[in-house]
Amino acid sequence: MPERENTAGLGAAARHLMRSRGHAALGTSLAGRPYVSLVAAACDSDASPLLVLSDLAQHTRNLAAEPSVSLLFEDVGGYADPLAGPRLTLLGRAEQSADPRALARFTARHPASASYAGFADFHLYRVAIERGHLVAGFGRINWIEAAELRFSADASVLAAAEPDILDHMNRDHAEAIELYARHLLGRRETGWRMTGIDPEGIDLRSGGETARLDFDAPVLSPAAARRTLAGLAQRAREKPGG
């Protein structure tokens, strides 16, 4: 068995993978037998996965009997051998939540969900993280405990300000968002909007395309977010062609 990497970056690498993926494979228990389905996913500020599930879905009925779940996040699309790409198997418990802030975060990540997320038979679930198994490349295989997987610093002030930050950036700084996507992420699409901000980065969307831009250091307040976003815009302008 590969030796565990002695690095503080394992949790950060796992969170980046989780935050950058919009969908995951959800494993639940169907009367004790494994049942796997594809679900839309988002992450809260501390990286806890968020799901909006229909009461009529088989996986939701499974959760009513046994809330233990597994989620597979993967980013293997660009690899000739998908098994060489990064993936994270997360273990946890899915708990129904009535948090309107978290629901707004999910619907911003998945705009199509706004048309059904308010229906009486759809509910928000938050996955309480227990452990994760990260495969980051050949021979780089590690178990990561919950304390390392979750973002532990208090991000409540930033989370509360998130709707205002998104509104301000999309309304008044659309040019900066385009610069982020084009010059910092190398994306060719246009019409990007910011759909989320958390302590470790921002989420962008253009039509059906999504992108993730990580911060160099954690951001915990609106003032810090303002400085960081301005700095990223300046960095993008200074790039060739910026």
Query: Average pLDDT, stretch 105-111?
Result: 96
CA distances from 217 to 14, 161, 198, 201, 220 (A): 16, 19, 12, 9, 10
**pTM greater than 0.85:** yes
pLDDT of 172-193, one tens digit each? 999 999 999 999 999 999 999 9
Look up the domain containing 220 and give its range: 156-238
Tell me, yes or no, whether 101 and 206 share the same domain: no
Share of the chain above pLDDT 70, in %: 96
Tell me, yes or no, whether 160 and 141 share the same domain: no
What's the CA gap between 228 and 184, in Å, rounded?
A: 14
Tell me, yes or no, whether 119 and 193 share the same domain: no
Tell me, yes or no, whether 22 and 138 share the same domain: yes
Is the residue at 4 inside a domain?
Answer: no
CB atoms within 10 A of CB 86: 18
Tell me, yes or no, whether 41 and 145 share the same domain: yes
pLDDT of 17-41, one tens digit each? 999 999 999 999 999 999 999 999 9
Tell me, yes or no, whether 175 and 219 share the same domain: yes
| Count: domains in the chain | 2
Is the residue at 3 inside a domain?
Answer: no
Tell me, yes or no, whether 145 and 205 share the same domain: no
Is the residue at 130 inside a domain?
Answer: yes
